Amino acid sequence: MPQGFKRGQVVKAIWRAFTLRDEPVPAAFNAKIKKLAELGVPLTDAERVGGPGADNSYTPYQAFELGAALKLIDAGFKQGEVAFVVKHIRPNLRRAYSDILDSPPAIRQLVAAEHRPKSPPRLVVAHGTTELADPERRYLADTSYWLTFRSLEFPQSLNAHLKKRTLHLVPQFHRGLEALVKELQERATMPTDDHRFVLELSNLAVMITDALPEIQPTQRGRQ
């Protein structure tokens, strides 16, 4: 059964992953987390506990999901939109988290391909082309994991039959830079479908997951 963590541990772990600093969490950051909780991220109504003095318990995945949601808010998306997106992609996001931990990055370090056989080889972009890394680095693994999606404010630009305010997401997950590059290259051939939001997930997942057990829970009321 996954290890459970209190809200305070989760919030501090996410803030540490965002800032790489161990410091008090700003009130505004906490307020965004509280609003996401009201919108069902990362806990569903069934997962929330009831009764005074009871603490909600969060799995490492749920801490990661909340971190990804906050990254989207930081990028300028509205909280209601973020909650809708995250709940829409939750099964895929959960699988991505599992894949990342199965072949994780080593933060700020290069990883040999032999140590990450489930990750593709490292790719470089040079002189307008993408190719395998130079001989000195071709044995390195690419542990990056990317999320891309498009949301439409004017869906009729893609399909005349879509109603105004219909949200068209087209979420995709990409393991490694080569897979991401292929997705972005395709946008060049689609003049009416020419943009994607891009978020790298693997470093976030590992930093939050590693930080959680290092943070002592605080003794306070309901979390």
- Answer yes or no: is 139 within a domain: yes
Decide if pLDDT at 84 tops 90: no
Report in angstroms the alpha-carbon separations of 128 from 124, 125, 131, 154. Answer: 10, 7, 10, 33
Which positions ≥6 away from 172 have C-beta within 8 Å? 147, 148, 149, 183
Q: Are 208 and 13 in contact (CB under 8 A)?
A: yes
Question: What is the value of pTM for the model shown?
Answer: 0.86
The count of domains in the chain is 1
In the chain, % of residues over pLDDT 70? 80
Q: Using CB atoms within 10 A of its CB, is residue 181 exposed (0-12), middle (13-18) or buried (19+)?
A: middle
- Answer yes or no: is 101 within a domain: yes
The predicted structure's pLDDT at residue 166: 55
Domain coverage including residue 144: 7-214
Lowest mean pLDDT among 12-21, 76-85, 136-145: 136-145
The predicted structure's pLDDT at residue 17: 97
- Answer yes or no: is 108 within a domain: yes
The predicted structure's pLDDT at residue 218: 78
Mean pLDDT (whole number) for 146-154: 77
Decide if pLDDT at 5 tops 70: yes
Nearest to 67 by CA among 29, 95, 99: 29
Q: How confident is the model at residue 222 (pLDDT cuts 50, 70, 90)?
A: very low
- Answer yes or no: is 2 within a domain: no
Which residue is listed with tokens 């997401």?
Answer: 169
- Answer yes or no: is 223 within a domain: no
Instruction: Identify the H or E element spanning 53.
Output: none
- Answer yes or no: is 222 within a domain: no
**pLDDT: is 190 or 115 the higher one?**
115
The pLDDT tens digits of the residues spanning 28-79 come to 999 999 999 999 999 998 998 865 556 899 999 999 999 999 999 999 988 9
The pLDDT tens digits of the residues spanning 203-212 come to 999 999 999 9
Decide if pLDDT at 133 tops 70: no
Average per-residue pLDDT in the chain?
A: 86
Q: How far apart, in whole angstroms, are the C-alpha atoms of residue 83 and residue 80? A: 5
Q: How far apart, in whole angstroms, are the C-alpha atoms of residue 223 and residue 221? A: 6
- Answer yes or no: is 190 within a domain: yes
- Answer yes or no: is 219 within a domain: no
The predicted structure's pLDDT at residue 221: 47
Mean pLDDT (whole number) for 162-186: 81
Q: How confident is the model at residue 194 (pLDDT cuts 50, 70, 90)?
A: confident
